[in-house]
Amino acid sequence: MKDMQAQLEKLRTDAAALIRDLATDPKKRELFTRLADHLTVLASEVERAIADRVKQTR
């Protein structure tokens, strides 16, 4: 379970890093913003999967 939570945190951190570190011009910024948004959605799905798994083990 901790591994899944670590992956979730990494996914969220990567999304932020894409925007902060790689967006140097407007077109790239737009692309990296879309990628970060997608990573955020994926992180939410992982978070839901973790919550479902916790519920199943109770």
35 Cβ partners below 8 Å, 6+ apart? 15, 18
pLDDT of residue 22: 74
pTM recorded for the entire structure: 0.68
pLDDT tens digits, 2-45: 787 787 788 777 777 767 677 788 888 888 888 888 888 888 88
CA dihedral 25, 31, 32, 38 (to 10 degrees): 170
